[in-house]
């Protein structure tokens, strides 16, 4: 009597195809949630003892799922310009007293050192462009050896290029107290565009990354959401404490009031030039005809105001328009008249 053997399957962490047993070595790596794993290249599969190199991947193998989920997300969009760059950490040292010109704390005393992050880039090249390409801007190197300091004498190399340099977000809107923007429209546009590009390229939490994080920040009104990856201000209230304000009126240098723009002689300059051009080219009759045909559909009161207004351009134009309107008769378009004209017409009746 023959018996049918049942297929046998085993669970295994696949790394080397011929290995069907778990590794006995102590785990060194972990998943993102701190679960230890023996090998970052292994995965959980289901297969029979006679199968070599194949099997069924299981959904419970979260290591493979986590690896695959991270892989397509580990790149961020490169900068539209200045994509190719190198950078380093350094120190800015104030060597002269300039407090009479600038009140920024950066320059408040001679010898004060401030940590800075420098990024040197080309302009048009992509992130993978060569280091030797020409650029549309640059600086002369002929006096570099005799310069008073070495621009390549960095204080600290980046520990990780992606963390320190690629994610670095520079913006002209990041101004310290004592420095203000100039009256430049292009600058003002970039003050919005640069931080907005960083939110898209790096993420809404870019200001909390080590390369961008300010030293002393306290803004409990800005909390929650994907932009918070820190303590989220803990139990601090999300409102600013306030009390009754002293009754006082602000002092203004200028007066704030409604302003009505009056029509001046300058406003009639271009219409006068156009009327003169029409007369020189013999198109004045056509203009008078077109004006009279359209104006004749208005109420007589509106026609009088139109004639009076055209007199500011030229007395002859106003006179000829009045004569042309007198020949058209009552041609008021009551059907398409605006409500204000209809109300005026009813009032007259």
pLDDT in tens, 157-172: 888 989 899 999 999 9
Residue 154 has pLDDT above 50, yes or no: yes
pLDDT in tens, 187-234: 998 999 999 999 999 988 888 888 898 888 877 777 787 778 788 878
- Taking CA atoms, 277 is separated from 7, 127, 251, 282, 312, in Å, by 100, 58, 52, 9, 17
More confident residue, 332 or 71: 71
Residue 332 has pLDDT above 80, yes or no: no
Per-residue tokens: 83 = 């994509």
Question: Exposed, middle or buried, 157 (CB in 10 Å: 0-12/13-18/19+)?
Answer: exposed
Q: Are 13 and 43 in contact (CB under 8 A)?
A: yes
Structure letter (DSSP) for residue 172: T
pLDDT in tens, 69-80: 888 888 888 888
pLDDT in tens, 269-311: 999 999 999 999 999 999 999 999 888 888 888 889 899 999 9
The per-residue pLDDT of the chain, averaged, comes to 80
Question: Exposed, middle or buried, 111 (CB in 10 Å: 0-12/13-18/19+)?
Answer: exposed
Can you give the pLDDT at residue 21?
A: 45
Residue 16 has pLDDT above 80, yes or no: no
């Amino acid at each position: 009597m023959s018996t049918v053997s049942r297929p046998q399957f085993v669970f295994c962490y696949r790394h080397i195809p011929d290995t069907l047993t778990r590794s006995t070595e102590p785990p060194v790596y972990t998943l993102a949630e701190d679960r230890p794993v023996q090998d970052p290249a292994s995965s959980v599969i289901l297969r029979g003892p006679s199968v070599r190199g194949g099997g069924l991947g299981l959904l419970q193998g979260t290591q493979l799922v986590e690896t695959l989920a991270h892989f397509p997300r580990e790149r961020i969009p490169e900068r539209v310009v200045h994509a190719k760059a190198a950078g380093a950490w350094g120190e800015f040292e104030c060597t002269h007293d300039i407090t009479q010109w600038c009140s920024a704390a950066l320059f408040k005393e001679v010898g004060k050192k401030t940590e800075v992050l420098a990024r040197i880039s080309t302009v048009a090249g992509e992130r993978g462009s060569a280091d030797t390409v020409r650029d549309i801007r640059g600086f002369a190197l002929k006096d570099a050896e005799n310069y008073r300091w070495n621009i390549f004498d960095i204080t600290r190399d980046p520990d990780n290029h992606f963390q320190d340099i690629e994610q670095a977000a520079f913006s002209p809107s990041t101004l310290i107290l004592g420095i203000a923007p100039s009256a430049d429209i292009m600058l003002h546009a970039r003050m919005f565009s640069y931080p907005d590009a960083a939110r898209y390229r790096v993420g809404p939490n870019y200001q909390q990354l080590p390369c961008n994080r300010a030293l002393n920040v306290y803004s409990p009104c800005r909390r929650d959401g994907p932009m918070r990856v820190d303590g989220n201000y803990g139990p601090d209230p999300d409102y600013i404490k306030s009390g009754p304000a002293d009754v006082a009126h602000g002092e203004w240098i200028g007066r704030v009031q409604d302003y009505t723009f009056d029509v001046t002689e300058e406003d009639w300059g271009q219409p006068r030039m156009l009327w003169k051009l029409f007369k020189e080219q013999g198109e004045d009759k056509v203009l008078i005809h077109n004006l009279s045909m359209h104006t004749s559909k208005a109420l007589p009161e509106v026609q009088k105001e139109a004639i009076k207004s055209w007199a500011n351009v030229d007395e002859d134009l106003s006179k000829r328009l009045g004569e042309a309107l007198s020949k058209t008769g009552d041609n008021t378009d009551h059907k398409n008249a605006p409500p204000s004209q209809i109300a005026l017409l009813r009032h007259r009746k």
